[in-house]
Amino acid sequence: MRMTQPHIQPRLRIAPSPTGQLHVGTARTALYNFLYARHLGGEFFMRIEDTDVTRSKREHADAFCEMLRWMGIDWDGDIIYQSDRFEMYTQAINSLLEKGLAYECFETPEELEAINAERKEKKLPPGYDGRARNLTQDQIQAYKNEGRPRTVRFITPDSGTSEFEDAIRGKVSVLWENVSDFVIERGDGTPTFFLANAIDDIDMDITHVVRGEDLIDSTHRVLALRRALGNAEQPFYAHTPMILAPDRSKLSKRHGAVSLESYRDAGYLPEAMVNYLVLLGWAPSNDREIVTLEEMISEFDIFNVNKSGAIFDVKKLEWMNGEYIRAMQTTSIVTRLKTMADARYGSSYDFERFERAVELAQPRATTFVAMLDQMDPLFAQDFSIGQEYVEALRSTDQAIEILDAVEKHLTDCDWTLVGIDLRDVVSEIGLKPRKALPAVYIAIEGSTSGLPLFDFIELIGRDEAIRRMRNAKLLLG
């Protein structure tokens, strides 16, 4: 069943908490919000949820915005910072207190822990037992005089059910007896996530809330707050499934790179990243995988987002990035890679060779950084063979014979690709190229994969090729 769209002019938002780098999951949520807003012809806003002053940093917020721009995502209007709006939240909290819908509490962290332990013993869900609901003014004053920390809690119903309709998950409900009175103002006077989130969605007239499933439980509390603040109208909700690691646990730092920054720095193209992210939970028509942002906007429908979590597969991302690199003009790759090459090799490397190396790397590319890694044996000052490959060379059958034959051939062959071709050379000593050429690869490029071998040999020139064959033989002793 499709829910009706609540407003004519949809207004969506991304509401990151700037406590670290941009997680790929948040990047995908931002993308889905942006796509759905544009698809519906609505607006998309940026709200920084930085009420937790101890954990939030402006530099993370700035980086978040920069990364979204990098992805090609833009937003409408000015960025809203919750930290600029404390006054509004305090007013709302005071009005809830005045209406008797919230109350002041004075427990110390140790006392709260004890309450939790007590509940655990009674097999009750963790939370607060509401003991301060009916404090008298005198008690409150006495606690204040004691200098105890003061928090404000919102009163949740003791019985009944909270229910809302989610575009992806369907009906979502919870028993109120399992949701205890929750904090809306912290001891330091700052509002909590629930409060600021509820107020801002009302204040910004947000019509559609698309966000990660990890927040689904908070929605009951946010909706209760909205009602208490006099806003019975419910936005349209869609909670997207989590992004998972290959072992199907929630993707986190222990699985490797999880920030968008790390993928940008590893040389992924924003177009490829966006394309990959959109597929984590949604698929365009006709089994297509490569889709432009314009196509995504025209086809994206939140009702077609999967219920189950999507696995973050770096291999697939690499493949996709490679597809984008292959589709680029070689000259524009040269331009973009040159800056990175200058930083890596200084300014003395041979630019013509560099252009040729880019041509060679492009058809097999995964990322810009991987392309440059393949060029290292060509341009890096200190070419050497890593220990792992020295071992591989040593355990190759007839290694000396192979290297001798190749050296001899390279000494007087025509210096063209056809002339350099080593397949017959190794066949003549009774070996299959597949078996014998990895040793030559190691001698020339320092590993068993990289730029195509014969082209590479042609590029480094006869003298250098022979020198590398001899050095490799020295390693064999």
Q: Does 49 bind ligand GLU (CB under 6 A)?
A: yes
Mark the segment that binds ligand GLU (CB under 6 A) among 12-20, 226-234, 281-289, 294-302.
12-20
Mark the segment that binds ligand GLU (CB under 6 A) among 84-92, 208-216, 309-317, 377-385.
208-216
Q: Does 151 bind ligand GLU (CB under 6 A)?
A: no
Nearest approach, Cβ of residue 162 and ligand GLU (Å): 17
Mark the segment that binds ligand GLU (CB under 6 A) among 9-17, 183-191, 417-425, 460-468.
9-17
With respect to ligand GLU, which residue has the nearer C-beta, 309 or 377?
309
Q: Does 63 bind ligand GLU (CB under 6 A)?
A: no
Q: Does 241 bind ligand GLU (CB under 6 A)?
A: no
Number of Cβ within a 10 Å radius of residue 360: 20
With respect to ligand GLU, which residue has the nearer C-beta, 49 or 185?
49
Mark the segment that binds ligand GLU (CB under 6 A) among 10-18, 103-111, 122-130, 282-290.
10-18
Nearest approach, Cβ of residue 18 and ligand GLU (Å): 9
With respect to ligand GLU, which residue has the nearer C-beta, 151 or 219?
219
Q: Does 259 bind ligand GLU (CB under 6 A)?
A: no
Q: Which of 16, 25, 241, 438 binds ligand GLU (CB under 6 A)?
A: 16
Query: Which residues have a catalytic role annotated?
Result: 253
Q: Which of 10, 11, 12, 15 binds ligand GLU (CB under 6 A)?
A: 15
Please state, in angstroms and rounded to a whole number, the distance separating the CA atoms of residues 477 and 474: 5
Nearest approach, Cβ of residue 250 and ligand GLU (Å): 13
With respect to ligand GLU, which residue has the nearer C-beta, 83 or 197?
197
Residues 184-203 binding ligand GLU (CB under 6 A) are 197
Residues of the shown chain interacting with ligand GLU in the complex, contacts defined by CB under 6 A: 15-17, 49, 197, 209, 211, 215
